[in-house]
Structure 1
């Protein structure tokens, strides 16, 4: 597969971080730290885990029975004790844990660690009052409000397994996830705000539970005190009424390290959504370790991960990871381009955000509207920028680095998945950054780029990205479908196969090209969609692009591009010719799109990934398959 997929690497350049970044680097010398991990992997993770508090220590760090692993065997813990109690019972007691901003400036709430612990305990007691017990599943379908995080932590407090469903999903997707987990309780709100409009959630839940016999109660957060929605007492209960008369203390349920913490559904390219299961102990250690070291979190930081908690990034780096580290987190219900394209920059200036973790699709959207918006604001508080969700193309890297970071903030581009639970590849702070390359495996992770037999490919040659050893936060199984889990490890025996194409340079830096199913074979040449898209986006007129392969009798496939233009640029035949010529010069004639269609939007998941298979299905008149994660 990879033999004729050679990527031009010589044009990429390195950025050397400022001396201050190198001085604050947690590893000092990446190679030395990585070799120390390889010399004693169990000792490495044992040391990381001992920074947290456990009710009972482990008998051994890991037990590996391919393809299943157990981590911190027989240890007992509760993740909320580490997220809340150990801070609330220390000098961080009155430190701000959460700052929430709604769509308008007058909507703001602040919770200290002491207050957040009390809210979590009260709601956990309320859930217990409803009969929720350890091992029960609870579905959370809420807007981005503090109560959403309280609900997640309250479930973990009493040992219930939460499954968070993004508040933008419709009836069918919600019903599928409720039935898939046999959820006992659903927690929702009367509505969510988006672009100034109130979007009802309660009505969607009422429809979704009609054919979900496992649901016993629905908890409803009523946000409009002046016009509260009607509560049907035979099934429904008000969020605040549930906590009336309950205590503000709730002992954390001792959990085995391998007990499930949550189930999170993710769509593959084919088949029904997969319920990824993460376990209490390993997930806690993995998210704690990566948040602390990859973002260099300090006690004075104001940390903002823009991902909705309905996605894995929101779980790992919006809730659990930062709270495990005692960080002050900003969460918002805002939309980055509403009411103006300056919303994010305004919030960064107002709250003094120091760590900003967002998605390439958002960065390219900011590029599209120009530098004038961020340039109106003082962004000097920023010290670390992060990217997640899809490959960060070099042009977006440059814009993010120069326009937002002013050439002084390291960019932590990260590769990981719902299935991995934690970040796996990045360029650690202090190491030279190479635009277009996510970086190297972090200490604790063994990754490589291989051919279909599992043999490492030469530098500059594309192959499959694989993980060769287990890691603590790896998914344990797929809910009610362990056979589907095993396929991740069976594609290339002995390896976890991420289904992503990648290439590694002479220095070990890895560029993620795109999904292996996004490979286009043109006249016997393998072309990565992300590579062509990056070439198109590097043209000054292009904001975003997606490409697909179309069957062709002569070449096997031809390339069709869907292009969103920057504001002020007009489509036309002249521009099509310019783009074709630009791709020719950038990648060569084999990668030239045979068709270019100018569009206003692209089908994306809520996490920002372009769903190319939807474009291809529409183009060929085929069934697009599961589109439950498609953004409206």
Structure 2
């Protein structure tokens, strides 16, 4: 079996190798252990020696655990605005490509000028420290100074996935009580103009006071043009504290509304930068790229990491396979050093035969994979794209982590689909149901036994849900919800989700978000959605629907329900693969729907413990609906 092995330059000149040598670590395991066993020493050294952050007031203590491991405070007493770290230089920061081939390159100075203008405009128009600023834009260069400008002004950004429909937008604007929204009127994908503004207007909530629009279509929006904001000038920057929030980024859970994960000036950006520095080996002036959206955590992750490490970020608008070899040409054009993509995209490119030509990836020194497990065939295909030279940095964590729990380092061999170590600052292991470390080769749940700056500071205005989600399974242990395994040599493998969350193309979607749309239909009494494997997307949602009295199943009703989910949540998330009609859903005695049972039956697996099942006859209903009886 193919296995990537480090070469001399990795063992001597990579960031992790040089850091280990400078600080006297003889093995990678010693270094990783140091990052979580002595967090105060490691994180203060990293920010001081590598990031060289500018503090308005120095911190007096690196870590405060007086409220428990669930609520750590970092860099206590320091005053830091993380968006006020931009250098005024001519070095490129933003490299961008449109679907039509147009390119933009903005220097640090240009981005700084625009970010200052956004911050000053926001302050003049009533933004107060802590006000939420939603960003609903495609991957265009303007999104970077908008985000950094809002943070610079003391606002809390709320990135929204550019493919969201009106209901998904409304829920997040309502929950965050956003006062400002920066949006684009259209985006471009596969040669077509996509109307974003109609979705935004339909999703606007009463909290929104100002809307700023990047007018790309040539039509006036009736709101403040972003071009006017950029022209206003100014140099405002809020004197924020290290633990002040800078971002609420939403991620879906298994029940209820999406979770608004809260991140701070000294948290998400610093963890992102550390991961990129040690895992992806980005050095000053080098280019980081990820096929992503700002509504997915990898978007802000790329922005913060690239500029804190004084490198550049390269991204594009539109589809990565339009034309078929676009991604490889893009990487060649911008001399991308580290290129990240989800396993879903790798599988798709492999399926359409989108292979890189000789020479196109000569500048590339690392692939990144995240979002979901990568299957062996896709890993090997990507390995061959890099001619066996380019390591595949498997990387897994989450929005609540600000990056990775697990990753790969270029100073150690990498097995297919594996993680060769815990990520920076995380003491990762796998627990069995009894709360003990799983023996090698035994599946369990991925947990973290340490604290790190990137930990979410809870869910927006819902601290109890945060505690219940991550800290309620075992005392003092972060239970992440991923099923995982460690082999005899200490390599980690992610096997899927341990809960009901659905991962569509690497992005998490809670079943409740789809079920809410379905249950609002006058014919639907209740519904349950599960994720099932898909050869390209990783998982797709399939929904089981119980109809109200007086309504009968029909193909037209099925099509209508599928269309409603697509309209409400956007094609990338909401469109379910199929709707199946049943007379009842399996439930516990306290009326909780047992989605794991439905999924097990659908996949032909044992449904496990059914002692809590109130209505065993529902299992026959599910089997009948999927044609298994």
Normalising by structure 1, we get a TM-score of 0.77
Structure 1 residue aligned with 2:259, among 260, 274, 284? 274
Shift of 1:375: 2.6
Conserved in 1, the CA contact under 8 Å of 2:185 and 2:221?
no
Shift of 1:548: 9.8
Cα distance in 2 for residues equivalent to 1:74 and 1:606 = 41
Structure 2 residue aligned with 1:94, among 90, 111, 115? 90
**Equivalence for 2:216:** 223
Q: 1:622 to 1:241 in 2, by over 3 A?
A: farther
Conserved in 1, the CA contact under 8 Å of 2:269 and 2:301?
no
Q: After superposition, where does 1:486-497 map in structure 2 within 5 Å?
A: 486-487=467-468, 488-497=470-479
Tell me how many residue pairs correspond in the alignment: 522
Q: 1:168 to 1:611 in 2, by over 3 A?
A: closer
**Equivalence for 2:437:** 456
How big is each residue's C-alpha offset from its partner over 1:277-319, in whole Å with a ceiling of 9 and x where there is no partner?
11111223212222222111123422211111121011112x1
Conserved in 2, the CA contact under 8 Å of 1:478 and 1:484?
yes
Normalising by structure 2, we get a TM-score of 0.77
**Equivalence for 1:588:** none
**Equivalence for 1:242:** 229
Shift of 1:611: 9.5
Conserved in 2, the CA contact under 8 Å of 1:139 and 1:162?
yes
The answer on 1:206 being equivalent to 2:193 is no
**Equivalence for 1:370:** 353
Q: 1:129 to 1:546 in 2, by over 3 A?
A: closer
Partner SS state of residue 303, structure 1: strand
**Equivalence for 2:614:** none
**Equivalence for 2:293:** 308
Q: After superposition, where does 1:416-495 map in structure 2 within 5 Å?
A: 416-487=397-468, 488-495=470-477
The answer on 1:399 being equivalent to 2:381 is yes
Conserved in 2, the CA contact under 8 Å of 1:439 and 1:511?
no
Cα distance in 1 for residues equivalent to 2:347 and 2:292 = 16
Partner SS state of residue 21, structure 1: helix
Structure 2 residue aligned with 1:103, among 99, 105, 110? 99
Cα distance in 1 for residues equivalent to 2:182 and 2:47 = 32
Q: 1:354 to 1:243 in 2, by over 3 A?
A: closer
**Equivalence for 1:328:** 312
Conserved in 2, the CA contact under 8 Å of 1:59 and 1:75?
yes
The answer on 1:79 being equivalent to 2:74 is no
Q: 1:222 to 1:495 in 2, by over 3 A?
A: same
Q: 1:620 to 1:409 in 2, by over 3 A?
A: farther
Cα distance in 1 for residues equivalent to 2:153 and 2:388 = 46
Give unmatched runs, 5+ long, in structure 1: 1-11, 520-535, 552-602, 627-632
Shift of 1:397: 1.1
Cα distance in 1 for residues equivalent to 2:449 and 2:37 = 15
Conserved in 2, the CA contact under 8 Å of 1:467 and 1:496?
yes
The answer on 1:412 being equivalent to 2:393 is yes
Q: 1:620 to 1:611 in 2, by over 3 A?
A: farther
Give unmatched runs, 5+ long, in structure 2: 18-26, 502-532, 545-565, 586-592, 596-629
Q: After superposition, where does 1:26-45 map in structure 2 within 5 Å?
A: 26-28=15-17, 29-45=27-43
Cα distance in 2 for residues equivalent to 1:494 and 1:610 = 34
